[in-house]
Chains A and B, each alone.
Chain A
Amino acid sequence: MPQLAETQREFRRAIVEHDTAAIVSELVGGRDPKTRLAIHQRNYEKSLVNALLTKFPATHWLVGSACLTEAARRFIKIRPPRAPCIAEYGEDFPAFLATTPVAQRVPYMNWLAELEWHVGKVAISIAFPALTLGDLTALDPSKLSQAMLTFQPGVHYLKTPWPVDQLLELYVTEAAPEQFQLAPADICLQIRGARGEYQFRHMTPVEFEFRKSLQRGRTVGDAAEMALDIDAVFDPGQAFTCLMTEGLVTAIA
């Protein structure tokens, strides 16, 4: 193996795992190069922990700085970033939080983190011009069932076993009620945003599955059949019209 590759392997071990044994004898700088190496160790840890704390501010608020910082420290050791764009780092952090001891006491913590990850993503998107019902007049009605839709980029569908949108609302509005009771309840949320704004919409399970499957590339016909299997009185025509009038669809093919 070329020497540089080996040097970088050992340097990485010193930075991420704090195992400096192999690299420190290669280094020079100051009275003790090991103390200088600590600057790089700190840069790595501090920058990534800060990135996670900044990305999950409501979770930070919910469980406190010490708790989330400790979780972030452990996370960055086992899952360093895989790409140079740190804004994209942290997608797996909510799932990691679910495995931490705090999740036993705060079982909705990872769901709040999951919600704010998606809020963060949709809020930095941009909305494109939406198709209207009038745009569909050129489409052969018999081919509509085979059509696939492209949604606005700032839309995500999230099902959670806790109404964590209420927690996020408390955080955002800085409301501090004397008592707040959060009871487990399955909720189906549409998270929509663009240019720094976002909104939630609670949906029925069937409407949620219809939209989610369309967004994932199923045809209108397949999505309608799947929805009717869930709820026989579901009205696909009405649901489709709602999609269009809400400006969620940017292309149809």
Chain B
Amino acid sequence: MIPSSCSHAPIGAGIGLRLPHLAEIVATPSVVFSTKSSKRSWLEIHPENFLANPHATELLLEARRDFPVSVHTVGVSIGSAGGIDRGHLRRLRSLIDRVDPFLVSGHLAWSTHESEFLNDLLPLPFDEEALHLVAAHIDEVQDALGRPYLIENPSSYVGFAGSTMTEVEFLGELVTRTGCRLLCDVSNIYLSAHNMGYDARQYLDQLPAGAIGEFHLGGFTPEEDEAQEIVLVDTHAAAIAQPAWDLYAYAVERIGLRPTLIEWDNDIPELATLVAQAARADEIVSNVFAQRHQLLEVGLAAVG
């Protein structure tokens, strides 16, 4: 039986823990505690970075004593028509049982074809066949991991002409059919809306707010493609852009407080830079709730 909710989830912003920062965080956890967001700090890992690295796993378990940890898979390939790699799920389960994360998540994407792993998050058509397959795979993954598995909205550059529903409709239907929860990557929404030509706020409005268990924020890189169009590429190699911060504020206002992760996977900066980005996310949350409180006071005063 998979528990339907996650206990002990931290409420502040966390950072993606990548191997170059691991030893530093273990040696001086206060580096991450140094902002006003201190007691709410947490870390997220990609388990695939640890499965074949016993030394890193040993350090991770040390870090786990100081921080709540969530696990964000990048290799499950939940949309593969050829099925899920059960050997990989067994390895994940073994690590997850040791780390005891407060959340486990992955992507609405596919990466494996037959026995090849293509090391990218590839797009799915949004139709009944894919919906049926992904829903079955979510059940399989949740059973294999013994935990709820949150599904993250993708970053999109292409779609499929044969799709019969929008991405947000597809995610909503997944929630209805499986009871799964969602990881709302705010930067992905901004990026995909730009690349695919839809309205990011409207997308957020359509997401089932109660199903969202986590926010992600990552940096993207604008590039001019061969057709002379500016495409936003989900590089996770830069600071969060202002439009993504603005959309995050809107998401918090609309959906509420959720654990929020700062992702930075390439050209990884000093830990202090990540901590500063996390502090900014916390500040935005504070501002949203301060405004809400102010409005409430004004409203109460008017009634009084």
Q: Is the CB of B82 within 8 A of A124?
A: no
Interface 1/0s, chain B 136-161, versus A by CB < 8 A?
Answer: 00000000000000000000111111
Q: Supply 20 A–B pairs (Cβ within 8 Å), ascending by A.
A: A15-B120, A16-B116, A26-B162, A27-B158, A29-B157, A30-B227, A31-B228, A35-B225, A35-B226, A36-B158, A37-B158, A40-B157, A44-B118, A81-B116, A82-B117, A84-B117, A87-B53, A124-B52, A124-B55, A196-B55
Q: Is the CB of A27 within 8 A of B129?
A: no
Residues of A within 8 A of B228 (CB): 31
Q: Whose C-beta in chain B lies nearest to the C-beta of A123? A: B55
> For the complex, is B290 an interface residue (Cβ under 8 Å from A)?
no
Please, how many residues of chain A have a CB less than 8 angstroms from a CB on the other chain? Answer: 48
Stretch of A5-13, A100-108, A165-173, A180-188 that contacts chain B: A5-13
Q: Whose C-beta in chain B lies nearest to the C-beta of A43? A: B120
In whole angstroms, how far apart are the Cα atoms of A16 and B114 in the complex? 13
Beyond A87-B51, A126-B55, whether A39 also contacts B117 by CB under 8 A is no
Please, how many residues of chain B have a CB less than 8 angstroms from a CB on the other chain? Answer: 52
Q: Is the CB of B81 within 8 A of A126?
A: no
> For the complex, is A83 an interface residue (Cβ under 8 Å from B)?
yes
Within 8 A of B (CB), among A14-71: 15-16, 25-33, 35-40, 43-44, 47-48, 51
Within 8 A of A (CB), among B91-117: 91, 110-113, 115-117
Beyond A2-B129, A26-B160, whether A8 also contacts B113 by CB under 8 A is yes
> For the complex, is A95 an interface residue (Cβ under 8 Å from B)?
no
Q: Is the CB of B119 within 8 A of A47?
A: yes
Stretch of B71-79, B255-263, B291-299 that contacts chain A: B71-79
Q: Is the CB of B48 within 8 A of A36?
A: no
> For the complex, is A202 an interface residue (Cβ under 8 Å from B)?
no
> For the complex, is A176 an interface residue (Cβ under 8 Å from B)?
no
Beyond A12-B118, A124-B53, A194-B55, whether A84 also contacts B77 by CB under 8 A is yes
